[in-house]
Amino acid sequence: MSKIEFKFNKQKAIEAVLYLANKRPSIDKMSLYKFLFFADNEHLNKYGRPIFGGYYVAMPRGPVPSQVKNILEKENLPEFQIDDYMITATRKPNLEFLSQSDIEVLDLIYGRLGNMTARELSNLSHEHIAWKKAREINIWRNNNKLDYKNMIDPCNEDLIEDLEENSKYIVI
């Protein structure tokens, strides 16, 4: 039994962030991270892969896509203006990098959760089993990786088994 892992696709992550930042201008980082988590969770269960790969860490306020956080906080990309905790897109997303299913799920999650505050999204993410299990490992550490296996509906044993064998080969 192998660990479920997906290679990180930086360009898809940037375009997904731009997609959401265009839907909610001046989006706060916490809301963005939670929208991405719920979208990846939905996409994983529906289509067998997350939207942009990489991994999430269990931070005190909920799951955070580690590589996306690094991009936004360390790379100073021209696609974003970042003012403390707020992110503003400086361009529209290039939809050629996002699949129809990526866009479908981003729209679905934003439609479902787009009216929630950052605190409400954080509280909702604390109910997710993947975050809870990662925090159980060591509640004082902030870099416990969420296990993709815990993001998959436990009734979907076939998907879990398939991804344990093949996730590292999936191109995102």
Question: Measured between alpha carbons, how far is 169 from 5 in angstroms, rounded to an integer?
Answer: 9
Question: Measured between alpha carbons, how far is 103 from 113 in angstroms, rounded to an integer?
Answer: 15
The reported pLDDT for the residue numbered 79 is 94
pLDDT of 147 above 80: yes
Tell me the pLDDT band of 137, cut-offs 50, 70 and 90.
confident
DSSP for 85-135 reads TEEEESS---GGGS-HHHHHHHHHHHHHHTTS-HHHHHHHHTTSHHHHHHH
Of 98, 108, 110, 121, the C-alpha closest to 14 is 98
Of 52, 51, 20, the C-alpha closest to 121 is 20
What tokens does 69 get? 């956080």
pLDDT of 143 above 80: no
Report whether 136 contacts 150 (CB < 8 A): no
Tell me the pLDDT band of 101, cut-offs 50, 70 and 90.
very high
Question: Measured between alpha carbons, how far is 113 from 8 in angstroms, rounded to an integer?
Answer: 25
The reported pLDDT for the residue numbered 67 is 97
Quick one: which H or E segment has residue 72? helix 66-74
Question: Measured between alpha carbons, how far is 79 from 145 in angstroms, rounded to an integer?
Answer: 27
pTM of the model: 0.95
Of 7, 114, 122, 17, the C-alpha closest to 59 is 122
Please give the average per-residue pLDDT across 118-132, as a whole number: 97
What tokens does 114 get? 């787009």
Tell me: the pLDDT tens digits for 29-74? 999 999 999 999 999 999 999 999 999 999 999 999 999 999 999 9
The reported pLDDT for the residue numbered 139 is 63
The reported pLDDT for the residue numbered 144 is 87
Of 2, 18, 23, 5, the C-alpha closest to 112 is 23
